[in-house]
């Protein structure tokens, strides 16, 4: 897998403000669902159960893994495509799809090996829904207690 720096990851996450993310803690291996609320240098602000938390992003260590909960482009409907094609400027199409939660190819910087790859390909997106993740966590918990 091609490597993204912490700063590059934060730039990508900034394009998806308001989108849901799954956060896997490296301390207890639990997964939580949250919503991206903001970005600052070295940290991502995520709301989990109405509590806002800053998640640090550094190149030296990681406390958790964060992935956007996105939909693959194959799930685009004809009405969404028609709306996108009727936007006043063609450059608005990608941000429109991102706002709707679709995985889009990224541009990081000139010559970067992650350019033109989907977030799922570079490990920053999960195509499962929040319900699928939570149901999997519940079933794993039930299996562990039996």
Residue 68 falls within a domain, yes or no? yes
Residue 23 falls within a domain, yes or no? yes
Confidence of residue 140 (pLDDT cuts 50, 70, 90): low
- Is 1 a residue whose pLDDT tops 50? no
Residue 88 falls within a domain, yes or no? yes
Residue 72 falls within a domain, yes or no? yes
Residue 27 sits in which domain range? 6-138
Dihedral Cα 101, 103, 108, 111, nearest 10 deg: -160
Q: What DSSP letter does each residue of 9-71 carry, written as one string? A: HHHHHHTTTT-EEEEEETTT--EEEEEEEEEETTEEEEEETTEEEEEE--SS--SEEEEEE-B
Give per-residue pLDDT as tens, 90-125.
999 999 999 999 999 999 999 999 999 999 999 999
Looking at residue 144, its pLDDT comes to 63
Q: At 127, list the tokens.
A: 């195509």
Residue 144 falls within a domain, yes or no? no
Give per-residue pLDDT as tens, 11-61.
999 999 999 999 999 988 889 999 999 999 999 999 999 999 999 999 998
Looking at residue 105, its pLDDT comes to 94
């Amino acid at each position: 897998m091609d490597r993204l720096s912490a700063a590059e990851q934060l730039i990508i996450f900034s394009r998806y403000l308001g989108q849901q993310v799954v956060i896997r803690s490296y301390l207890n291996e639990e997964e939580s669902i949250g919503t991206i609320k903001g970005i600052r240098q070295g940290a991502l602000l995520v709301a989990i159960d109405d509590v806002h938390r800053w998640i640090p992003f550094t190149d030296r260590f990681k406390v958790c893994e964060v992935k956007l909960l996105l939909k693959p482009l194959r799930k685009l409907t004809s009405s969404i495509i028609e709306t996108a094609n009727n936007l006043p400027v063609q450059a608005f199409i990608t941000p429109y799809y991102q706002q709707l939660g679709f995985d889009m190819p990224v541009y990081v910087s000139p010559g970067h090996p992650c350019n033109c790859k989907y977030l799922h390909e570079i490990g920053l997106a999960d195509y499962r829904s929040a319900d699928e993740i939570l149901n999997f966590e519940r079933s794993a918990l039930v299996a562990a207690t039996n």
